[in-house]
Amino acid sequence: MVKAIHFKYNLALLLAVCSALALAACDPKSSPTVKYGQVTDFAKACASGSQCQSQRCIEMNDIMACSRYCEKADDCPADFYCAFEPNEEKPEPLMGLCRPIDADVVCKRCSNDLQCGMIGGTCQPFGASTYCLMDCTLDDCPNGYTCTPMGDSSYCTPDTNECECNTLKQGDRRACSFENEYGECSGAMTCLGEAGWATCDAAMPGPEVCDSIDNNCDGGIDEGILGTVNHCSRCGEVCQGGGFSGTQPVCLEGVCGLACGANYFDANANSQDGCECMDDTFGATSPTEALSQGSFTSCDFSHQITESRVPGDASHQAHHDYIKFNYEDVWNCQIELEVHLRVPSSGATHFFCVSPANNANESQWTNCRTVTPGTAQSIEPSGNNGAYYVKIGLLNPGEANCSNYLLTICEGGRCP
Ligand SMILES: [Ca+2]
Ligand SMILES: [Ca+2]
Ligand SMILES: [Ca+2]
Ligand SMILES: [Ca+2]
């Protein structure tokens, strides 16, 4: 019955058979180069099998070292297990080799059996991928693993049902993230061993607020918030408006300042007191809306406008003032009609133009004068009946002005 067994492949087979049958003819002396069972050089470094009593020099963690043959659980020292050695002959009892339970290889993602050779395992489908699983034909599985029949053998599968995290993978970390309508924040999670993965330590994306933290995880800190009037140079620095009407706080490149509203002007070039000069509502902004000063007839009248102005400051100036009046030369004394503008010495240089009679087309108002501070100029309109338009403005952009001009529509000896 013994001779019926072929042993051309593996010397292990010989010992397995001998051990099972306890035959005198199988004395280990008959195969002196291989020592089965206990050896004295286990885990000693080796370069080839001939240096080992078992003739087996295998990878043990970081080195090549001598191993030993085994048959059952407890034959191998702690941190090793009796890994089944595949053999076509299927000797009785089955023979294994002590191999390290290397946590880096057990349950490692793999694509072929060679990648699992260190633990004597095979690359098996498990869960969503393929992993190096230990064969548990001869030995028990490590803590946290259960021997599970798969195909024609049995393998150690992790109790967490996850090869990436189980008792042997405690402390492993992997990338994770949280994503919602605000963005996606990356982090990592840690394998707690039997308990599986700990919660992902990534931040939960939130709306960006001023807190020196990238709340929405887009790489920008406090973007769109820091540098605004409520968080100018730093979070919480609110730019003060000073309580001045027509004055708005602004934050320009991280520095608080004041900006003037549409009809307000910093005409004294001092932002500390805000935009103290307000435009009047006297002049219209276009000829068609020009404010009528009434209808005058010859001769010898005078109509004076004293409370209107065209303010300006370094950054902007008010719109031109447009007024109009009607004039009728009842007594044929039209040649003396005058529009007269005086600019106080505190004001900036003005200009003014008077239209021909009944001509609202501003581009044709060529009858214009420049009036420097402290002086006055007169324009005698052409035509002697109808509607006349007057436009008043500041000559030079950027010049400060908050002084009222003095405009007089007059005739004859009543002009200034
Ligand atoms: Ca951000
Ligand atoms: Ca933030
Ligand atoms: Ca001011
Ligand atoms: Ca005005």
For the segment 67-106, what is each residue's pLDDT rounded down to a tens digit? 999 999 899 999 999 998 876 666 666 789 999 999 889 9
Question: Considering its fold, how many domains does the chain have in total?
Answer: 3
**Is residue 302 predicted with pLDDT exceeding 90?**
no
Cβ-Cβ contacts under 8 Å for 312 (sequence gap 6 or more): 265, 267, 318, 348, 394, 397, 398, 399, 400, 401
Q: 309 with 335, same domain?
A: yes
Cα 232 to averaged position of ligand 1 atoms, centre (Å): 17
- Given 54, 79, 100, which residue is the final one in a domain? 100
Per 3-state DSSP, the chain is made up of helix, strand and coil in percentages (nearest 5) of 10, 35, 55
Cα 259 to averaged position of ligand 1 atoms, centre (Å): 28
pLDDT of res. 272: 79
**Is residue 402 predicted with pLDDT exceeding 80?**
yes
- Given 100, 128, 159, which residue is the final one in a domain? 100
Cα 318 to averaged position of ligand 3 atoms, centre (Å): 15
Identify which of 379, 414, 408 has the alpha carbon closest to the alpha carbon of residue 304: 408
pLDDT tens sequence across 138-182: 999 998 899 999 988 899 999 989 898 988 889 999 999 999 999
Tell me the residue range of the domain where 122 lies: 113-168
Average pLDDT over residues 307-320: 92
Range name among 116-125, 333-342, 377-386, 397-406 with the lowest pLDDT average: 333-342
pLDDT tens sequence across 9-42: 344 444 444 444 444 334 444 444 788 888 999 9
Q: 397 with 318, same domain?
A: yes
Has this prediction a pTM greater than 0.75?
Answer: no
Q: Answer whether residue 222 is part of any domain.
A: no
pLDDT of res. 332: 75
Number of Cβ within a 10 Å radius of residue 398? 12
Q: 29 with 65, same domain?
A: yes
Q: Answer whether residue 237 is part of any domain.
A: no
Q: Among all ligands shown, which has an atom nearest to the Cα of 210?
A: 2
pLDDT tens sequence across 268-293: 988 778 899 999 877 788 888 888 88
Identify which of 320, 374, 311, 370 has the alpha carbon closest to the alpha carbon of residue 346: 374
User: 152 in the Ramachandran plot: left (φ > 0), alpha (ψ -120 to 50) or beta?
Assistant: alpha
**Is residue 338 predicted with pLDDT exceeding 80?**
yes
State the Cα torsion 72-74-76-79 to the nearest 10°. Answer: 120
Q: Among all ligands shown, which has an atom nearest to the Cα of 278?
A: 4
Which CATH number do you get for residue 350?
2.60.120.380
Q: 82 with 118, same domain?
A: no
**Is residue 359 predicted with pLDDT exceeding 90?**
yes
Q: 46 with 136, same domain?
A: no
* Residue whose tokens read 């002049």: 283
Alpha-carbon distance of 295 to 211, in angstroms, equals: 65
Q: Answer whether residue 204 is part of any domain.
A: no
Cα 206 to averaged position of ligand 2 atoms, centre (Å): 9
Q: Answer whether residue 219 is part of any domain.
A: no
pLDDT of res. 15: 44
Q: 39 with 140, same domain?
A: no
**Is residue 355 predicted with pLDDT exceeding 60?**
yes
pLDDT of res. 334: 54
Q: 141 with 94, same domain?
A: no
Cα 184 to averaged position of ligand 1 atoms, centre (Å): 10
Identify which of 124, 105, 125, 127 has the alpha carbon closest to the alpha carbon of residue 115: 105
